[in-house]
Amino acid sequence: MIRKRAILTVLAMVFALGFISLAKAETADPFPSWNDGKAKQSIINFVTTVTNQGSPDFVPVGERIATFDNDGTLWVEQPMYSQLLFAIDRIKVLAPEHPEWKTKEPFVSLLKGDVEGALAGGMKSVGEIVMATHAGMTTDEFETIVTDWVATAKHPVTKRPYTEMVYQPMLELLAYLRANDFKTFIVSGGGIEFMRPWTESVYGIPPEQVVGSSIKTQFEIRDGHAVLVRMPELNFVDDKEGKPVGINLHIGRRPIAAFGNSDGDLQMLQYATDGTGARFGLIVHHTDAEREWAYDRKSSVGHLDKALDAATENGWTVVDMKRDWAIIYPFQKK
Amino acid sequence: MIRKRAILTVLAMVFALGFISLAKAETADPFPSWNDGKAKQSIINFVTTVTNQGSPDFVPVGERIATFDNDGTLWVEQPMYSQLLFAIDRIKVLAPEHPEWKTKEPFVSLLKGDVEGALAGGMKSVGEIVMATHAGMTTDEFETIVTDWVATAKHPVTKRPYTEMVYQPMLELLAYLRANDFKTFIVSGGGIEFMRPWTESVYGIPPEQVVGSSIKTQFEIRDGHAVLVRMPELNFVDDKEGKPVGINLHIGRRPIAAFGNSDGDLQMLQYATDGTGARFGLIVHHTDAEREWAYDRKSSVGHLDKALDAATENGWTVVDMKRDWAIIYPFQKK
């Protein structure tokens, strides 16, 4: 009898605990890494409005499309874009197979560690670096290359894996939107196949919800197997005016919310916020030189000038990283 | 109004089917419109295997990707592709604004009702018809044009709305796959923006899960609004070798199952069935001249020759429409 009572007591406790955790689920702050303020409140207000069936601005589940830039919006883009660092690492790995690179720009500079010199040739140099490192293999092979790189590469300043250099407040925002039946997409100037191997585990965004820049691919039967070969030819640049084009091609609906951090996101925000009903635009403003980086109108990486002015004109939310974010990275969680 | 109601009725039927299959998932036959036989059994065997956690061929939910051709696989493509009939209808509507068409091919033949004569110029004529009817407006405007056409146009033989000329057994197959946590995609040679306005209500496939051929679009601020303008320039042909390319670009994973009916689907089936683990390929063979149409190796529309041979070589399921399908269209349900 005593044992039975003990068991019942334990059961009651378990139930009570269950109840408490359920009750907490209703009230818990979905944004523990955001400081209270206008930015956080504007997100909650928007989502509350479009998910409220009594509201004239109610949006059916299927139309709750939110698009996110990646570099500088979901993860770090300083001191330089991660994909450029990936390309540089690949050049080093591939150099033994390319003796001609010892005397050929932009490779000779890159191999000496002189990134600035390598990029002095502008878009032509960037193109040569991209094609030398991103083309010539099958899509399956490229996926393995990216997966291996992401698993081992370290950020040049913090020495942490790139997948830890993501913004915890933005992870909370992604989760909050999905909990409210939004479908979250990445719409990035970065390579679509550079992102897809890790976006699901890091952001919870599956490959089919990633839009990005791409090179052409070609179907082949190779050694009896059906493969796609990556060709050294540009297919699509998913940046600036290209972002609404990419959104329309891949998603086929106008997003009701868009999130970016640079002038490369201006047209995406214009496109998303110009539809009927409630709309939401947000710019992440990098203002925290101590915990992250501070840059905007004068930066070449993550250049934010016109889109910052447009945010004021259009009533988009501007996140002041220093003021609005309690922590920056997941590893800073207590 | 009656036509609208007819579409709504079909919609209600599709929804009802979804509900019934959910409620009776354990016991009810998910394929009431399929006759018992190898074809039906092969589908059930495949899905049972990949969803069985104890099976070495178990596939996690996110990787359960199935791709479907549209014309001739999900809806009728005889006596000619629906999108061509749409284009012809548009030429008639637009003719008063284009007096020059009275003396210019392929328009003069089309306006006289001589489709064969209009298409005598081959791909050049097709291109001119497509660009005259599919370009020059915003994507929002084109969506309205397609929506209005689909709501009113009738199939030339049966005089029924095109959205009723879909294959009931394939609707059951789509529902069955989704009930087993597959994500279903359309991968069609048809225009991506010609399909998206109605695929969700007719097939339960949302716009972001439709892959197709496309023309280029351009971002503009027009009268103060952010719009995409459809340009008279080809962007992508999602047919034959293009299908695996389109799948990779839009979905970013290799499907584990693919469904087609013509040589235009051969490469998609090769690509989908060549991965590791259990794979499934299916060809709808149009063998029923009484209830639908009978055509394969000698037909220009839905030409099925190499893919039929490949089905035998690769062990893909071939649906004999006459033998395997108890009914063809939703309106034949008892």
Q: Which residue of A183, A235, A252 is in closest CB contact with B210?
A: A252
> Given an 8 Å threshold on Cβ–Cβ distance, is A244 in contact with B221?
no
**pLDDT for A200:** 97
Averaged pLDDT, B30-35: 97
> Is residue B207 within 8 angstroms of chain A, CB to CB?
yes
Interface test with B, best of A249, A265, A268, A306 (most B CBs within 10 A): A249
**pLDDT for A26:** 54
- Determine how β-strand B65-68 pairs with β-strand B280-285: unpaired
* Chain B residue with the nearest C-alpha to that of A268: B226
In this model, does residue B253 exceed pLDDT 90? Answer: yes
Q: Give the ipTM.
A: 0.91
Q: How confident is the model at residue B24 (pLDDT cuts 50, 70, 90)?
A: very low
**pLDDT for B1:** 40
> Given an 8 Å threshold on Cβ–Cβ distance, is B192 in contact with A252?
yes
> Is residue A29 within 8 angstroms of chain B, CB to CB?
no
The nearest CA of chain B is from the CA of A181 a distance in Å of 15
DSSP per residue over B66-89, as a string?
A: EEE--BTTTB---SS-HHHHHHHH
**pLDDT for A1:** 46
Averaged pLDDT, B163-174: 98
B206: which chain A residues are within 8 Å (Cβ-Cβ)? 62
> Given an 8 Å threshold on Cβ–Cβ distance, is A208 in contact with B208?
yes
Cα B247 from chain centroid (whole Å): 14
The pTM of this model reads: 0.91
Relative orientation angle of helices B2-23 and B168-179, to the nearest 10 degrees? 40
In this model, does residue B14 exceed pLDDT 60? Answer: no
DSSP state of B158: T
Nearest CA to A213 among A183, A234, A196? Answer: A234
Q: Which residue of A65, A219, A248 is in closest CB contact with B245?
A: A219
CB A253 within 8 A of CB B208: yes
**pLDDT for A123:** 84
> Is residue A276 within 8 angstroms of chain B, CB to CB?
no
A274: which chain B residues are within 8 Å (Cβ-Cβ)? 225-226
Mean pLDDT value across chain B: 92
DSSP state of B122: T
Interface test with A, best of B185, B205, B208 (most A CBs within 10 A): B208
Averaged pLDDT, B259-263: 98
Q: Which pLDDT tens digit goes with each residue over B61-117? A: 999 999 999 999 999 999 999 999 999 999 999 999 999 999 999 999 999 989 889
Pairs across A and B, CB distance < 8 A: 88
> Is residue B38 within 8 angstroms of chain A, CB to CB?
no
Nearest CA to B150 among B211, B105, B184, B191? Answer: B191
CB A29 within 8 A of CB A225: no
Q: Which pLDDT tens digit goes with each residue over B42-67? A: 999 999 999 999 999 999 999 999 99
Q: Which residue of A226, A241, A249 is in closest CB contact with B244?
A: A226
Give the residue ranges of DSSP H helices in chain B. Answer: 2-23, 38-51, 82-94, 107-111, 115-118, 123-134, 139-152, 168-179, 192-203, 242-250, 266-273, 306-314, 321-324
A208: which chain B residues are within 8 Å (Cβ-Cβ)? 65, 183, 208-209, 250-253
In this model, does residue B26 exceed pLDDT 80? Answer: no
Residue B275: burial class (beta carbons within 10 Å; 0-12, 13-18, 19+): middle
**pLDDT for A108:** 94
> Given an 8 Å threshold on Cβ–Cβ distance, is A252 in contact with B183?
no
Q: How confident is the model at residue B9 (pLDDT cuts 50, 70, 90)?
A: low
Distance (Å, whole) CA B154 – CA B157: 8
3-state secondary structure chain A: CHHHHHHHHHHHHHHHHHHHHHHHHHHCCCCCCECCCHHHHHHHHHHHHHCCCCCCCCCCHHHCEEEECCECCCECCCCCCHHHHHHHHHHHHHHHHCHHHHHCCCHHHHHCCCHHHHHHHCHHHHHHHHHHHHCCCEHHHHHHHHHHHHHHCECCCCCCEHHHCECHHHHHHHHHHHHCCCEEEEEEEEEHHHHHHHHHHHHCCCHHHEEEEEEEEEEEEECCEEEEEEEEEEEECCCCCHHHHHHHHHCCCCCCEEEECCHHHHHHHHHHHCCCCCCEEEEEECECCCCCCECCCCCCCCCCCHHHHHHHHHCCEEEEHHHHECCCCHHHCC
* Chain A residue with the nearest C-alpha to that of B276: A225
Interface test with A, best of B219, B279, B316 (most A CBs within 10 A): B219
**Residues of chain A numbered 95-124 and touching chain B (CB < 8 Å):** none
**pLDDT beneath 70, residues of chain A:** 1-27
**pLDDT for B2:** 46
In this model, does residue B249 exceed pLDDT 80? Answer: yes
> Is residue A143 within 8 angstroms of chain B, CB to CB?
no
**pLDDT for B12:** 52
B266: which chain A residues are within 8 Å (Cβ-Cβ)? none
* CA angle (B122, B126, B131) in 5-degree steps: 150
> Is residue B288 within 8 angstroms of chain A, CB to CB?
no
